[in-house]
Structure 1
Amino acid sequence: MTDDYAGYSVWKQWNPSQFMVCGPYERRYYKGEFRGLDLSGRRILELGFGNGGFLRYATDQGARISGTELLAEARASAAERGVRVYALDLSDALTEDTGNFDIVVAFDVMEHLTREQLLVLFESLAKLLKSGGHVLARFPNAQSPLGCVTQNGDWTHRSALSGQVLMQLLVGKPWTMVRAENPFTVVDADSALKRIGMRLRYATRRGVEWTLAKVYGIAIALDPNVTVLLRRD
């Protein structure tokens, strides 16, 4: 698997000099995704922290951060900034920090794992999280035709997921789905006309979703990605 990620940070256009930089757009996005969750003073574990944007946001909210990452250069950048970096299999976290985390975050990570790896991961997360702790994850939306663009746009993606598929995998395990929905929308444009256009597009999407729910009796998110929030029972 590691060979599949050769040159991955270059392809993602991650610049080490920009590690743990979080701009205004990202801050608004994270604030929206974490609505209802207080990050201040919380112990947060981010799986696959990439270029570290969320690590910066969470730190600025007063959280105590740590994480995992496949790419060696990103791990080195995190360590230089005092971020605790755990092994990918979380073996050291399970030894040192069982039941100590409040929130686990995984942006664009779970689609890189196989079914078997996901099951092992959630067994580990159930041990690491406090009772009542949360997992917030975003991944390509396999229940939307638009999700094919995101899912098939990266060679390293292994699983097609949705909120329903994830809960099917976790049947009988100590997890409750709090929400599964389109990622938080940030209306960010440099002119009033563009902002109106964005709002109209999102309103149209909501109208299509509402119509499908009425016609077929199922509520689905249609964005290319979906965000899920799970609670550890």
Structure 2
Amino acid sequence: MRALDYANYGHWKSWDHDSFFRFSEYEANWFAADFDGVPLVDAKFLEIGFGNGALLSWAKSRGASIFGIEILDASLERATARNIPLLSSNLGDNLPQFREFFDVIAAYDVFEHLSISELTTALDAVATMLKPGGELILRFPNGQSPFGRFLQHADHTHRSTLSVAILYQLTVGGPLTISSKRPKKPAPIGPPWRRLGARLKSVLRLVTEWYLKKIFDLNCELGTNVVMRLTKRP
């Protein structure tokens, strides 16, 4: 990754010292849905590209021992100040010290920043660092959906367009197998009017997606983001 591309990235994202390692009720609700059924108590949890630290903070609140990887200097400085163990952003440098070390590895909004060759290398390293039965949780803009293009083209540092089909193509026959490819929608939170609005929107979205899949003969997810779980084979 070129340093120039990320020179003001944290500023663009509105990440700062005061908001680092904090998560909102809204974020916690989504994290809980994405990691539903993933044991986190006493788990060794690595986040690749932890950014402002919201997911790391949430994982720690759930009992995980957290580790991080990042390329942004400001994020690294803030993590160091909180004594968060840091690994090299060159994943291969972390081997063999962290071979079969982690129970869970997360990469939220990260792998679309890599070329396909870099992604293949990253997946190999992740598979090596995961314990047998360990899980990789991914989130990325949905390249197979017209609704995912908004997110894909909202950041010039995105280098690859990804999808469930592409991740399957990159992992088939390897040590990582796709165990889930669809995010579990969290229960609505907030005041009653907001919860009602969220439920109505969810119903309308389901009906619209069903209709579009039928008329265009689509066999893919249409959400803006894809959340996937990949499990390392025993």
Same fold (TM over 0.5): yes
Say if 2:34 and 2:183, in contact at 8 Å, map to a contact too: no
Given residue 226 of structure 2, which amino acid in structure 1 is its aligned partner?
V
Which stretch of the first structure deviates more once superposed, 135-144 or 164-173?
164-173
Residue matched to 1:85: 86
The CA deviation at 1:189 is 4.7
Q: Secondary structure at the match of 2:126?
A: helix
The residue that corresponds to 2:63 in the other structure is 62
* AA partner of residue 202 (structure 1): S
| Distance across 1 between alignment mates of 2:162 and 2:95 | 26
- What is the CA–CA distance in structure 2 between the aligned matches of 1:66 and 1:8, rounded to whole Å? 22
Question: Which residue in the other structure is 2:206 paired with?
Answer: 206
Amino acid in the other structure paired with 1:29: W
Secondary structure at the aligned position of 1:121 is classed as: helix
Q: 2: CA distance between counterparts of 1:204 and 1:38?
A: 33
Q: Partner of 2:52 in structure 1?
A: 51
5+ residue gaps, structure 1: none
Q: CA deviation at 1:218?
A: 4.9
Where does residue 115 of structure 1 map in the other structure? 116
Q: Deviations over 1:128-173 (max 9, x none)?
A: 0011111001000111111000000001001111111111112221
Number of the residue aligned with 1:125: 126
| TM-aligned CA deviation for residue 205 of structure 1 | 1.4
Corresponding residue for 1:232?
232
Q: Distance in 2 between matches of 1:118 and 1:55?
A: 22
CA distance in 1: counterparts of 2:153 and 2:44, whole angstroms: 33
- Aligned-pair distance for 1:49? 0.1
The 3 A distance-change label for structure 1 pair 199 and 106 is same
Q: Which moved more, 1:99-108 or 1:217-226?
A: 217-226
Percentage of pairs with the same residue:
36
CA spacing shift, 1:41–1:51, aligned 2, 3 Å: same
- Residues 181-190 or 3-12, more deviating: 181-190
Q: How many corresponding residue pairs?
A: 232
Q: Secondary structure at the match of 2:95?
A: helix
Question: More deviation in 99-108 or 192-201?
Answer: 192-201
Q: Which moved more, 1:92-101 or 1:114-123?
A: 92-101
Mapping of 1:57-206 within 5 angstroms? 57-182=58-183, 184-185=185-186, 187-190=188-191, 192-206=192-206
Instruction: Give the TM-score normalised by structure 2.
Output: 0.93
